[in-house]
Structure 1
């Protein structure tokens, strides 16, 4: 009975999850602040009244498209949130988008699939903006030319190829 009263009193006195901390963890996970392209589109809704998470939060991408972050409380009756990620919108016709990768740039080529990710150095064979698909070539030591492939620009210096 006393424990129930203490729990109720803690909730009434602001015993809810720290939503600012959730925003900070999402920013660390995505690598971008709230509102920036690649970061959370908006802060977590402050009207939410979530129980404090005693076992910690787990963050992961909701899907391979990386369009939202799944935030889960590991408690037995924990909660989960989907935090939308801001994507680059179409550029205004008179303002060209800044190139994230230029032809000849050194890039990391990440190949990702269900449960794995490997990367290797490569070279961009075309220029492009974030989200664009460009031709790249892995850098190999030895004889012969490696095969070219198409990969999507994630950020400057990083391209990705998602496997089914």
Structure 2
């Protein structure tokens, strides 16, 4: 079945049961990456390792990542976490200058899917923490407060003052949340 891509240039469309790409960089940046592209097998291995179940089995990815994906080469290890409370999909992210994020559907139908092994929270709601904005060649930090629980590698809402707008930050370690500047 052929799917027409209604999205602007630089967006990739894959079977909805498999992955959904949210481009965080334009096509030129992706094509110009010195390291080429991320191999979809790398994504598959990361999701299988995270879920503990093989592709097509209960608890594992429904199908392999689409081989047509052309995602920027990832300089850092892929960050993998559950997406949502239903645990019906896994979020795979590439941190860095050519960052990208996809969601991989997990087979949660029938069978005895393995129980999720959530990581213990590194930060709990209300915890005081350091919020760091980090970019190429600089970092700025300020104290703040966690607005929700989260494990290392997860994205949570934080705020710098009682009446400040919430910001999304990734937990680097207990007591430290990072907001990458692009």
Band of TM-score, shorter chain: 0.3 to 0.5
Larger Rg belongs to: 1
The structure where helix makes up a greater share of residues is: 1
TM-score w.r.t. the length of structure 2 is 0.43
Higher relative contact order (CA 8 A, sep 6+): 2
